[in-house]
Structure formats: C-alpha cells, structure tokens
Amino acid sequence: MPPVYPHRAARGTAPALRQWQQEALDLYVERSPRDFLAVATPGAGKTTFALRVAKMLIDSGEITRLYVVAPTEHLKQQWADAAARIGLAIDPNFRNSDGRHGREFIGVAVTYAQVANKPALHRNKTEAGRTLVVLDEIHHGGDALSWGEGIREAFTSATRRLALTGTPFRSDTAPIPFVDYIEDADGVRRSRADYSYGYGPALKDRVVRPVVFMAYSGNMRWRTSSGEEMEAQLGAGATKDITAQAWRTALNPDGEWIPSVLAAAHKRLLKVRDRVPDAGGLVIASDHETARAYAAQLDALTGQGTTVVLSDDSEASQRIEDFSGDASRLWMVAVRMVSEGVDVPRLCVGVYATSTSTPLFFAQAVGRFVRRRNANEVASVFLPSVPVLMGLANELEEERDHALDVPRSAQDGETEEEQLLEAAEREQRASAELERGSFAALESRAAFDKVLFDGDEFGLGGAVGSEEEMDFLGIPGLLEPEQVSTLLKQHQADQLRRRPGGEPGQGHGEELDVVDHRRLKRLRSELNRSVSAYAAKTGMHQGAVHNRLREACGGPAVGQATKHQLETRVRTLQNWFVGRR
C-alpha cells in the first residue's frame, strides 16, 4: 500500500487493488466522508472495496462495529464469508429476536426486510458503538415505504455509511435514504454517486467478461381469453398486447421454443467447457412452476439432475453453494433468487427465460455472467428476440442516475410501446390466477435471429440447427473483446458469401450500391401481396408464411431485409406456388 495509507493491506485480500478500487479508496481516504456512494458494475469487486474500507477504519480504531445490509439471506452468508477471509467476523445468522450478537463477532449481516421489521432494535445496536454501515445494493432502500423508513430510522446515527450498487438506479421515483440528489439544469433532482465504474470501462480494463447475446425469434400461436386464435412472429413489429402474448407463448414449457433454445444454450455450454472446464449455465425463469419444467427438460438433455433454486426453499442457499463448488454440475434454474448479487463465478452461459424487462432487473441478471476469473473468458446469454430486451442488450454500457420529479418514461428513455408492454406484463401477472385456463399457448417454434455484441448486431438468421446458427454457437469460450468482434464479423461475412449468388458488394471486391429505398418499398409490397395470396391458398397464417420464408432463405424480418434478401424470398414463394421447394 502507498505511504498515504496508515495500515497495510489486510491478510487475505488481493495483493493489489484493481485500478477503480484504488481510485475509489484514494477518494474515500481524501474525503473521509460520513456517506459515500459507490456505483460499480456487477462483477467489478464492490465487496472487496467495501471490506478494504472497513478493515482500514477498524484497524485505525475509528470504527468498532460493522453492519452489512443485503437484499437476501444468501448474500448475508456471502458477505460473512468474504469478511472472514480478511479477519473480520460478522454474524449472518443474527435474528431480531436475538437482541445482541455474540462477543466473538464485530458485527452482523442483515437483510433490508429484517431492518424494516424492527428498526428501533438496529438503531440501538448502531448507537452502541462507532458503527460503519455497508448498504449493499442500496437501491433496495426504495423497494417499499417501510424499507426506506426502516433503514433511515436504524442508521441515521451511524458513524459512517458506505452505499453500494451495481445497477442502473430504480425505474420509479421513490427516494433512497442516504443518497444525495442534485438538481440539474432542467430542475430534475438526480442521484449523485461519489464514484462510478460502469460496464463499458470495466470491459476495457479487462475487469469483466464480454457478453455475447444470442437472440431467438420464431413463430408463436395462442388462444386469447376471448377464444380467438392468434399467430405472430416473436419480435416482429406488433402491438404491445401481441408482443406480450407471443413472448408468453415462447416461454411456455410445453411448446418447442424453450426446448430448442435450451438445447442451443447447452451446445454453447459444452463448447465453452472445451476451454473452461468448470463453466456452468443458469436459466432465469418467471415462476416456480416453469422453473421446475425447464429443469426437467435440462435433465433429459444433459443426463444429470439440474439444480433448482426456489425462493421458498429453505435449502436454497446451500443449493447455490453446492452448485458453485461442483464443477461437474452443468445447469442451475432459478426464479429471481440468483438474479442479483449472488456470486457463482463459473457461470458462463445464461438463458433469460422471463418476461421481466426492467433495466434494473436485466442489468442484475446479466451481472451474474460477467464476473471475470481468468483472462479471455466470454459470457453468452440467450434471450427472446423482443424489442425491449434487444434495446437493453444494446445499451448494456449505458450509465444512468436515479432521477426524482420526472415520469419513469422520461428518466429511462423508454418508448411508449415499452411502457405499455411493462404495464401489460404487470396486469398479466396480477390476474394470472383469473386467466388460468383461458389463455392457451398452442404452438411455439424457435428460429435463430441474431447475435448482439458491443452495440452491434451480427448474423442473418436461420433455422435452429442450421449452419448459420452453429457458426455463432461454436465461437471459442476464451477470447478478448476485440477478438469477439473480429470473429463475429468474419462469421457474418462468411454467411453472406454462402447465400445463393452472394450478397451484392460483399466478398467480391465490389463497391456497395446506394440503397434505393423506393425499390425496397416495392419489393416489400410485392412480398407481402405474395404472402397474402399464398396464405389464402394454403390456409396458413401470414405470419407463419413469413416465418417459413425466413427459415428457408435466412435473413432478418421484412423491415430490415436487404434488396437481395427480399428478392430471394419472392422467388422462393413463387416456386412454392407451383409446387417446387
């Protein structure tokens, strides 16, 4: 440690802090603040930074008691284990009914709910010593009115408070205790972090893994509560109701979409394990019933029992620990419990099989896969190809502050469609019991859509199991970010060359022609008329015809297809009319 620090690094900590941790610690020592907010991307090492601060303050005698407040029971155990490694004993098993913790502990780890349940007890414990309070994932201080009031009452008298978060702040305007809000030029109060370290800088610094998003679309068919049968392509331009219902159909474990995507993700995991032998996978499900169903499908796929983690299971924390420590275990399925803060470093492949679409939840979910252990590890996350998730995946590097005084849509930059979609999802969850037996997912088929990485999109689409899909499933599990981009571009160029006749201006040393938007419009109209006629002839839904054309010819949805791709689909459909395939 440099001379500015009065104490040596604690035994058991990293011999050298990461650059961001060192900078944040320098700032903390310089300011010696009562309150300090550090915002750092999941996997960057917030726990190490906080415990270094705690050790420094305790060794100097300024602090005599340590309080850690975390969102879940499992995270309490995780904090206690990390603190023990540097010689700090905190009790994660403390209960409000205990009143006092044991003399062998310097403090406790508790949950936000635990504090809110008996804030006066925790205020008395805080005032009984010179206390440092670490508020892990501080945005949870706004989860419920009682939680915010509870931590404010309990810890207002603390000697020091260190707040941590790894996500964009809350999507609502509930103020968070002990966070400063500064009014900007527009009169909007926004949260002010003392130190911020986002995913983008962390990726450049090789602190976190690069994340490759594998997006899957496909044709969905369902029966509405009114008895009407509907059909649509997942992710194609549609109303918020159709998008939400197609998404719901895709996630139904009785269809073909989920088994196809799980099989693709398992292929990817096996490829990653060629170079990362202990790599594991995580499926994030919407509810307990579907989680168990997904696990049964993985059991059949892998030939081994899948670890299932449910919030109402008293053994959930132990299951997570067992999975984390057993390199032979391939897959874990969880609902929400593993979406935030839980540290399972060997997770390299994920399946986002939930309809939750808030920026906060998405960032925390993806955060489970970005923790870097060794050089060059790449994370892969499979997800439904719906607009709101595509936007979140492309904006992973964006940094946000928590804003008060403004509507949620203005602070999050959400489109009207995304707001309506979220409202539809909330309504759907609230009335799930009433709708049970009325809404029916009839059929779902998966199709590979595209790959998203570093704000760019790659791939021309293709059927599940196609060469186009396998190009991307087979990328090595150990690559630097620049190598990921290079390889994805190469695969896309190869796919263009494999298309019948090649793509104009691609791979032949030719100059790209300027796109003729009028010609594109005419081709789209011609294709749509032909699809309509073919649907009338065969009795198929138009969406199904478009989906099968994409499977046969490749490429994105009609609105994003090139002139060559549209012409190919028109010719293919003409052949179908006369019985040629």
Q: Are 369 and 208 in contact, with CB atoms under 8 Å apart?
A: no
b/e 89-104 (16+ beta carbons within 10 angstroms → b): ebbbebeeeeeebeee
Side-chain half-sphere of 303: how many Cα atoms within 13 Å? 1
pLDDT reported for residue 4: 34
The one-letter code for the residue type at 150 is G
Q: What is the pTM of this model?
A: 0.66
CA separation for the pair 575, 570 (Å, rounded): 9
Count of positions (residues) in the chain: 581
Question: Distances from the Cα of 271 to the Cαs of 68, 268, 472, in angstroms?
Answer: 39, 5, 11
Backbone angles phi and psi of 345, in degrees to 5: -60, -25
H helix count then E strand count, the chain: 21, 21
Reduced to 3 states (helix: H, G, I; strand: E, B; else coil), residue 123 is helix
Question: What pLDDT score was predicted for residue 268?
Answer: 95
pLDDT of the residue at 323: 93
177 in Cβ contact with 225 (< 8 Å): no
pLDDT on residue 513: 45
Question: For residue 173, what pLDDT is reported?
Answer: 61
Question: What pLDDT, on a 0 to 100 scale, did the predictor assign at position 168?
Answer: 55
Q: What is the dihedral of CA 340, 342, 343, 349, to 10 degrees?
A: -60
Residue spans of the chain under pLDDT 50: 1-14, 400-437, 503-513
* pLDDT score of 546: 85
Q: Can you read off the two tokens belonging to residue 478?
A: 């150990």
DSSP 213-253: EEEEE-EEEEE-TTS-EEEEETTSS--HHHHHHHHHHHH-T
Quick one: which H or E segment has residue 162? Answer: strand 160-165
- Contact between 118 and 110 under an 8 Å Cβ cutoff? The reply is no
Q: Helix or strand or coil: residue 570?
A: helix
